[in-house]
Amino acid sequence: MSERKRYPSDLSDERWALIEPVITAWKAAHPSVSRHQGRYEMREIVNAIPYQSRTGCQWDYLPHDLPPRSATYYYFAKWRDDGTDQTIHDLLRWQVRERAGRSEDPSLVVLDTQSVHAAVNVPAGTTGKDPAKKVPGRKRGLAVDVLGLVIAVVVLAASAHENRAGTVLLDRVAAQTATVSKALVDQGFKSAVVAHGATLGIDVEIVERNPAERGFVPQAKRWVVERTYGILMLHRRLVRDYESRPTSSESRVYWAMTDVIARRLTDQTTPTWRDA
């Protein structure tokens, strides 16, 4: 890596060692026509992605000592479209689960959605207004395991019903792992999600809230998905949806969680906004 002052989001040697084999293999499988290796080190390309994720800056505002938009977005889009971003994430997720004494894939997942405002550049055709939460923008849906690790993610218009988000999430969970047999959801999801889960061999349980409770009350097991959403908010690029394509928004989630779990695997802390 070229000599420059480090940013807090930069990959440490230990975290880069976790990601580098996948990136190196990808690069070897995708040589340029001229066999040119490129002007920028792949580690610096990867460093630019969490920098933007943590700071929320626009592509054109990447610092001059990081690779420019032309190079960084090229790889971001390539890895988004061929699933390399998810491959890196899933490999690290499996390691976190094994470190916790669990099998690679879970048997239970928790589903939930989060509506976020969309930036002005986001195409109107991919946005809507959440009628329940009164939020205009997009709806981000997650399926997480009991450790709060992401198993599947979907981004839809905020106007999409919870049933739509739930069925898509269940389809993606079933496509990615055959081990999930149970899913917990809140009361926003209806019987259509339960019925769809049954067709996939997944028992969907709607967790009822105690009507006597007021305000936010964490529910057993289901609270982990709320914690995951909170962790993602450390990445300012995810506080609002800035991506033109929903698939880019999904990729942002995978990269943010890759940053989080790579730090867990190397026992390195995640800086917060309040850190000096």
Instruction: Report the range of poorest mean pLDDT among 43-57, 191-205, 260-274.
Output: 260-274
pLDDT at 88 over 80: yes
How much is the pLDDT for 1?
A: 47
| Number of domains present in the structure of the chain | 1
For residue 175, the domain's CATH number is 3.30.420.10
pLDDT, tens only, 170-205: 999 999 999 999 999 998 888 999 999 999 999 999
| Residue range(s) defining the domain that contains residue 163 | 106-242
pLDDT at 60 over 70: yes
pLDDT, tens only, 135-158: 999 999 999 999 999 999 999 999
How much is the pLDDT for 41?
A: 93
pLDDT, tens only, 197-245: 999 999 999 987 766 666 555 666 788 999 999 999 999 999 999 999 9
What band does 61 get if pLDDT is binned at 50, 70 and 90?
very high
State the Cα–Cα distance between residues 140 and 113, nearest whole angstrom: 5
In a domain, 62, yes or no: no
Cα 115 to Cα 156, 238, 245: the distances in Å are 9, 11, 16
Residues 6+ apart with CB under 8 A from 100: 147
In a domain, 116, yes or no: yes
Nearest to 10 by CA among 60, 65, 58: 65
pLDDT, tens only, 108-133: 999 999 999 999 999 999 999 998 88
In a domain, 217, yes or no: yes
In a domain, 60, yes or no: no
In a domain, 176, yes or no: yes
Question: How many C-beta atoms surround the C-beta of residue 71 within 10 A?
Answer: 17
State the Cα–Cα distance between residues 265 and 43, nearest whole angstrom: 18
In a domain, 22, yes or no: no
In a domain, 168, yes or no: yes
Nearest to 177 by CA among 109, 84, 223, 226: 109
pLDDT, tens only, 63-81: 999 999 999 999 999 999 9
Average pLDDT over residues 7-28: 96
In terms of phi and psi (left: phi > 0; alpha: psi -120 to 50; beta: otherwise), the region of 83 is left
How much is the pLDDT for 265?
A: 96
In a domain, 79, yes or no: no
pLDDT higher at 92 or 30 = 92
